[in-house]
Amino acid sequence: MHTAAGNEKKEQTMALDSTNKTARLYRMVMPGHLCPYGLKSKDLLERKGFDVEDNHLTSREETEAFKKDHGVDTTPQAFIGGERIGGYDDLREHFGQEVKGEDETSYQPVIAIFATAFLMALAVSWYAFGTVLTLRAFEWFIAISMTLLAVQKLQDVESFSTMFLNYDLLARRWVRYGYLYPFGEALAGILMIAGALIWIASPVAIFIGAVGAVSVFKAVYIDTRELKCACVGGSSNVPLGFVSLTENVMMLAMGIWMPIRMVWLG
């Protein structure tokens, strides 16, 4: 009788939740910890039009008791129509949104860097010349891209150098080159943005661009190895190939072009 009554109550709750489009959410809200995924889950549910019954788990003991009662390992936990959906990623899947795994390939960092560099170049060109369609804007785009890519590598040089050793021909012969590479890329990019000390920037860009282009071409197109690209840092999931080759060819081209430009345009 007790089980039957409990099942009936659960069915009534599910029907009521479904009709009213309500959801129940259990998340950690403690003086020293506010669960970010709990907040994201609440926001997602509200954006989907749900009235959220927001239940706070205010202590570690209460959180552990909740997980034990529901047979789950993590919080937050969301319930829709009386059915447990799960945490934030489970909610995203429930609503048909893409959930990327930690090891899944993503070009998002590269797109973000090149798009930002492009807009920054246009902004500087507008400020300097009053128009965005200038030769200098294209030069700034490449130089800013080099600098932003270098910043990604410099966040964790140790991790970058480790991934770099998987394919760079010079780094495999001289390991310290993997540590110097991002500094050289940043230096060349900054000097090219300023249009100063090109006699330093160009040789550096030509050297690291040429070595990098040959290394990537050999690893990907001759040895046909499937590797991750260190171009946006050592923790990236960007596959080695076109992106890294483009980065190195851009540096090589700018290294050749800038001295010609200085002579041609003065």
DSSP readout, 93-117? HHTT-----TTS---HHHHHHHHHH
- Which has more pLDDT, 79 or 231? 79
Write out the CATH class of domain 10-94: alpha beta
Q: What is the pTM of this model?
A: 0.72
Taking CA atoms, 159 is separated from 8, 182, 231, in Å, by: 56, 12, 12
d(CA 154, CA 168): 17
Mean pLDDT computed over every residue of the chain = 84
Q: What is the largest CA-CA distance in the chain?
A: 94
Q: In the block, which residue shows the tokens 């902004």?
A: 123
Q: Would you say residue 219 has pLDDT above 70?
A: yes
Q: What is the pLDDT of residue 162?
A: 86
Categorise residue 195: left if φ over 0, alpha if ψ from -120 to 50, beta otherwise.
left
Q: Would you say residue 249 has pLDDT above 80?
A: yes
Domain residue limits, the chain: 10-94, 108-265
Q: What is the pLDDT of residue 2?
A: 42
Nearest Cα to 231, choosing from 244, 218, 242?
A: 244
